[in-house]
Amino acid sequence: MNANFSGNGSKAKTRFGFHCSCFFPFPGGKAREANGAERTLCCTRMRRHGNRRPIVGLALSAMDFELRFSEVLRKLAWRCRYDMSHFVQVETLPSRIFISRWKGQICKAAALCILIAWLYFPIIFRLAKQCWHDPNCSHGFLVPVFSSFVLWRQRSRLFALMPRPSPWGLPLLIFSLCVLVVGVLGAEIFLSRVSLLLLVASLTIYLLGWGHFRVALFPLAFLTLMIPLPEILLSRITFPLEILASRLAAVLLPFLGVPVLREGNLLRIPVMPLQVAEACSGVRSLVSLVTLAIIYGYFLESRKSIRVVLAVAAIPIAVVANGLRVVGTGLLAQYGDPSMAEGFYHSFSGLFIFLLSLALLWLLHVTPGVVTRAWEARRDAL
């Protein structure tokens, strides 16, 4: 069939010589009604002349076939058009689901971020100021950067999860606000800072669900390392570390030819007394080394068990390294200038010992693999 289509009002000419309306209008439209009226008019005229001319019957049959065939084509074209639109809708469905799923959540998150920033601005400002001025908290700026990076790497998992808000986040939200009130009214900075992390965790559960909370648990828990320890807990940790470092120095210095008498955290050597003060307790290097051990394990180790071992092993490594620092200070005071035990050399020794701790952590990570490969190579050679 030879047809030429030019729009809804166009007509198609067939080899039979008859004309009919366009084959592809929408069903139920004006074109279909006009086609039905045209068909009725043509049939009425031909039936009126049916008794005079026998050929009119043949023309009537051909015209009826033409109109029926055009009706079939019209229905077929509409069904194809519907299937194609359905196919296009299926292709764009994921993006529409993604937009509808996250549009409301993003608006809620933006409003909550503004509210949290207004509520916690004084607390966050004091925390940043303390991390800037206090050497014990200098690693605090690295912690949120690393947590944000981990969340960015897990964005595909977060976006793939269906938001399923849980009502269990509401009690935790109320608890975090109560902790904030107690911390502010009781002048306890640690509680007010911890309440921020509890608030973020509770909002994640309440708005997104437990699935999103499980994915974001590690970066949220890592944020606790940027909060300085309270003074009550810090004093309970500092003094035992001072005693431990002084004991280690009292054991190693006699083997190096330096007689020593220990009285608590005070070491008496022939040239001068050395006191393991709070700054030399190793708390600063301990928290910083644990932070770097977690970051190191995240980037260079895929096994979670080894990551935990590295993070736990950073604690004794930091304690031993701090004891070696006290030993080095005693050697400088005994065989060098006593003034070298203070000032620049003392600060430089702290940096050197911290780098030594990182080297020991790297050796702890690398040595088992090297020994295992050497053992396997030797066994294969035999």
Task: For residue 7, report the phi and psi dihedrals to the nearest 5 degrees.
Answer: 140, -175
Separation between Cα atoms, residue 64 and residue 58, nearest integer Å: 10
3-state class (DSSP) for residue 237: helix
For residue 265, the model assigns a pLDDT of 84
> For residue 34, with 0-12 CB atoms within 10 Å meaning exposed, 13-18 middle and 19 or more buried, which class applies?
middle
Given its phi and psi angles, is residue 209 left (phi above 0), alpha (psi -120 to 50 degrees) or beta? Answer: left
H-helix segments, the chain: 30-48, 55-91, 93-133, 142-153, 155-160, 169-185, 189-207, 210-215, 217-222, 231-252, 283-300, 304-335, 344-381
Which are the contacts of 296, defined by CB distance < 8 A and separation ≥ 6? Answer: 310, 361, 362, 365
For residue 373, the model assigns a pLDDT of 85
Q: Are 22 and 8 in contact (CB under 8 A)?
A: yes
Q: Which two tokens stand for residue 21?
A: 């309306």
3-state class (DSSP) for residue 185: helix
- Kindly report the number of other CB atoms within 10 A of residue 140's CB atom: 22
Q: Are 43 and 57 in contact (CB under 8 A)?
A: no
For residue 103, the model assigns a pLDDT of 63
Task: For residue 3, report the phi and psi dihedrals to the nearest 5 degrees.
Answer: -130, 150
What pTM, to 2 d.p., does this model score? 0.68
3-state class (DSSP) for residue 275: strand
Residues lower than pLDDT 70 in the chain: 1-105, 108, 278-279, 341, 343-344
For residue 371, the model assigns a pLDDT of 83
For residue 277, the model assigns a pLDDT of 75
- Dmax (CA) of the chain: 143
Domain ranges in the chain are: 11-91, 102-226, 231-381
For residue 153, the model assigns a pLDDT of 93
Task: For residue 340, report the phi and psi dihedrals to the nearest 5 degrees.
Answer: -70, -15
3-state class (DSSP) for residue 301: coil
Per-residue pLDDT tens digits for 184-213: 888 788 999 999 999 999 999 988 899 999
Separation between Cα atoms, residue 46 and residue 60, nearest integer Å: 6
For residue 82, the model assigns a pLDDT of 42
C-alpha distances in angstroms, 362 versus 20, 139, 296, 301?
85, 19, 9, 11
- Strands, sheet with 266-268, edge to edge from the N-terminal-most edge strand: 261-263, 266-268, 273-275
